[in-house]
């Protein structure tokens, strides 16, 4: 159940598997929903050799932080321009409906291979939406990186 206290942060923990309906709507777990409906930003996100592996879902605060980083990059830097252009064309905004669902835009769903089921993976301050088979493959790579990854903390 969503929190009624707006100051309480939402943390995206755990792993969920949900069906995707014919309108490409995906249920967001109740504990991941804000008290008031908000706009989330979806970004086609790469992983390994897949340029559009999954959908990265950014809440407003995280999207704003990313935009500020991009705005701080020099306009004369070709890599920065390419990154801004790429993120601009590979992102879209969606709103949670009254049922706690988001509608994944058709082109994004197709690119990320999200059809009948979706895996929602919590990343603490954001989350990802994966095709279950793609997630299984990516998760195996993550498992290999885990011993080194833990050294980061």
Tell me the three state secondary structure of residue 12.
strand
How does pLDDT run across 45-98, given as a tens digit for each residue? 998 888 899 999 999 999 999 999 999 999 999 999 999 999 999 999 999 999
In this structure, the number of other CB atoms found within 10 A of the CB of residue 127 comes to 26
Alpha carbon 37 to its chain centroid, in Å, reads 17
- Dihedral pair phi/psi, residue 28, rounded to 5°: -95, 135
Burial 51-82 (b: 16+ CB within 10 A, else e): ebbbbbbbbeebbeebeeeeeeeeeeeeebee
- Is the pLDDT confidence value at 1 over 90? no
Tell which CATH classification among 3.40.1550.20, 3.40.33.10, 3.40.190.10, 2.70.70.10 matches the domain 15-152: 3.40.1550.20
> pTM higher than 0.85 for the full model?
yes
Average pLDDT, the chain: 93
Longest dimension (CA), the chain: 47
């Amino acid at each position: 159940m969503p929190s009624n206290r707006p100051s309480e942060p939402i943390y995206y923990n755990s792993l969920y598997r949900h069906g995707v309906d014919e309108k490409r709507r995906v249920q967001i777990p109740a504990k991941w929903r804000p008290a008031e409906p908000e706009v989330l930003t979806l970004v086609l996100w790469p992983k390994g050799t897949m340029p559009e592996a999954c959908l990265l879902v950014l809440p407003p605060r995280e999207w704003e932080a990313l935009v500020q980083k991009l705005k701080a990059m020099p306009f004369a830097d070709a890599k920065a321009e390419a990154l801004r252009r790429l993120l601009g064309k590979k992102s879209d905004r969606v709103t949670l409906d009254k049922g706690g669902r988001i509608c994944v835009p058709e082109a994004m769903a197709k690119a990320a291979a999200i059809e009948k089921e979706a895996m929602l993976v919590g990343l603490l301050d954001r989350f990802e939406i994966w095709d279950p088979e793609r997630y299984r493959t990516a998760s195996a790579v993550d498992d290999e990186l885990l011993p080194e990854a833990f050294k980061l903390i």
